[in-house]
A and B are shown apart, each in its own frame.
Chain A
Amino acid sequence: MKPYLKNYELYLLISPVIAYFVIFNYLPMYGVQIAFKNFIATKGIWDSPWVGMKHFDRFFDSYYFWRLIKNTLGIGVYLLAAGFPIPILLALMLNEVRRKFFSRFVQTLTYAPHFLSTVVVVGMLFFFLSPQNGLVNNVIRLFGGDPVLFMTEPSWFKSVYVLSEVWQQMGWSSIIYLAALAAIDPQLHEAATMDGASRLQRIRHINLPGIMPTVVILLILNTGSILGIGFEKIYLMQNDLNMESSDVIATYVYRSGILDAQYSFSAAVGLFNSVVSFVLLLSVNFIARRTGDNSLW
């Protein structure tokens, strides 16, 4: 009993935070049950009638289901394939720069886009890719090509999304690898140089294994969030014309839930997404633990 009494101030201090998590995180988890009910606002969450898996069945059978899965997974995997290795490469390259001024300079400037808001980045995409007067299409016209409808053509959506994401985040994401590289013992490099290892060999056999633990942890986290890809940017880039390849689970939940007020149905779609994401995270973590010594748990 004693430590509790002695530290009563600490419990008092943390209580508002616990209350916050109960109200804003755990109450909505309780509210998830409407996914299995027919939510009627006047009856409230508890008294609305149960309908079992009806909303899930409707979602699985709907025309949108495969399109949403295809787009959500497609964008997630594409982003992982391009967005994950590039910051590692950038860090490895920056680490080889001997002129500290140059490396500092590149770092400082490549971090900058990270601080732009999503709205501004998407706005810039619209300027630069505009078919009438966008810079990219001006260049294409200059070389005699036809303007490309980057922002409305479904086949371009995923590439524009992923490449702009890489543009915005590569510098920032490289920080963590640079820190891991800085922690590698320089004696390893000295010894390897004595033995006649070239720089590429040293990168491959010293630097890469050195940052592997960091790489694996981040890979687990990134893979776990494949299905959770950001609503914010996709929603802003979305329009009637590119819907076919831009509609993902998150934007669908927003449309059917908030705009069309189909609460129970979209809660079911959201729940499906969370459960699959969670299972994905657990399995990637499990595989990582089986195959190496790095894992989250």
Chain B
Amino acid sequence: MRQNAADKAFDIVNYTLLTIVLIAVMYPLVFVVSASFSNPERVLNGEVWLLPKQLTMLGYQKVFQNKDILTGYGNTILYTVAGTAVNLAMTVAAAYPLSRRDFKGKKAIMLFMVFTMFFNGGLVPTYLLIKQLHMIDTFWVMIVPNAVAVWNIIIMRTFFQQSIPGEMQEAAAIDGCSNTQILLRIVLPLSLPILAVMVLFYSVGHWNAYFNALIYLTDRAKYPLQLILREILIQNQMNEMNNLTEESYASQVMNAETIKYAVIIIANLPVLLLYPLLQRYFVKGMLIGAIKG
């Protein structure tokens, strides 16, 4: 019976700790949502703790009036859609041959790709290459240098090997199917779940990326949303700390304050909407990858 008392104590401690973790993770997110619907003055005065105070949509209105944000949003959508399409095509093009047992040279090719996961030329040689290719400040620089990720090729290859019977492909070959037909008519239709995983992996990556844009883009008209967000959320905040004495300080802060919570919500809206889907497929994808790392 002592066992039961100990079990109970364990459960109490366990549930309490998990609840604390849950609150710690969720609270900042809930706060941002509440603050985005509140009167910015109330937020600034520290009156908003959990629920919105003086409900207003002002922040959202200002976000939609901001040209930079709208252009950035459009650019990000463009980069995400085009980038993901290229990623998907390239990943299939690499993963399918590598999954075939009768594909000679697959080991060498795999090694050739995996090596780049552990060793690369580094930032500067890559930058010089992009410069030489005249890709700086072009649309392509946001797509091509990240055309495919080795890790995703491995995940996809593992899926092809494990979930699509080799016998089925051999039978199709005997019936006169070419390799392209086998891929298009048999393998891909059976791989919709993994294709969904890949679309989600890649598109979330494109949506959230800012590094390539920071390095390779100088034309503001091409900036993705994340770089605009960086200006609003981080650079403004830095100025705020440095220019405490300036006269325009108050109005500047108010403006940034009004917009900053709403812009986070707007920026993450697609991810938020897709979240239930993302969650399920992402976990699936992670686990396929984990089996054979």
Contact = CB atoms under 8 A, between A and B. Distances in A.
Interface residues of A, number: 95
B241 A131 contact: yes
Interface in A237-259: 239, 250, 253-254, 257-258
Interface stretch (B3-11, B55-63, B158-166): B3-11
Interface in B10-62: 10-11, 14-15, 17-18, 21-22, 24-26, 28-29, 31-32, 43-46
A126 B148 contact: no
A42 interface: no
B138 interface: no
B292 to A, nearest CB: 11
B6 to A, nearest CB: 6
Interface stretch (A59-67, A75-83, A107-115): A107-115
A110 B275 CA distance: 12
Interface string B228-241: 01101110011011
A28 B120 contact: yes
B260 A127 contact: yes
Interface in B233-280: 233-234, 237-238, 240-241, 260-261, 264, 267-268, 271, 275, 278-279
Contacts of B24: 167
Interface residues of B, number: 89
B124 A253 contact: yes
Contacts of A94: 18
B79 interface: no
Nearest to B267: A120
Q: Interface SS of chain B: helix, strand, loop or mixed?
A: helix
Interface string A5-45: 01101110110111011011111111110100001000001
Contacts of A138: 46
B189 interface: no
A113 B275 CA distance: 11
Nearest to A264: B124
Contacts of A232: 210-211
B198 to A, nearest CB: 14
B250 to A, nearest CB: 11
B168 interface: no
B103 A263 contact: no
Contact of A17 (B14, B148, B215, B237): B148
A179 B145 contact: no
A194 to B, nearest CB: 12
B290 interface: yes
Nearest to A137: B46
Contacts, number: 251
Q: Interface centre among B98, B127, B261, by most A CB within 10 Å?
A: B127
Contact of A278 (B21, B118, B267, B278): B118
A21 B113 contact: yes
Contact of A179 (B3, B15, B275, B290): B290
B110 to A, nearest CB: 11
Nearest to B229: A119
Contacts of B186: none
Given A24-B126, A24-B145, A119-B233, 18 more contacts: A3-B102, A14-B97, A17-B93, A21-B112, A23-B129, A39-B128, A96-B10, A106-B22, A111-B279, A117-B209, A120-B268, A123-B260, A126-B237, A198-B6, A200-B10, A250-B123, A254-B215, A257-B123
14 contacts: A13-B93, A111-B283, A116-B268, A119-B233, A126-B234, A132-B240, A167-B24, A176-B287, A221-B293, A236-B230, A253-B124, A257-B123, A258-B124, A271-B122
4 smallest CB-CB distances across A and B, nearest first, come from A28-B121, A123-B233, A31-B125, A270-B122
Interface of B: 3, 6-7, 10-11, 14-15, 17-18, 21-22, 24-26, 28-29, 31-32, 43-46, 90, 93-94, 96-98, 100, 102-104, 109, 112-113, 116, 118-129, 144-145, 147-148, 153, 178-180, 183, 204, 207-211, 215, 226, 229-230, 232-234, 237-238, 240-241, 260-261, 264, 267-268, 271, 275, 278-279, 282-283, 286-287, 290, 293
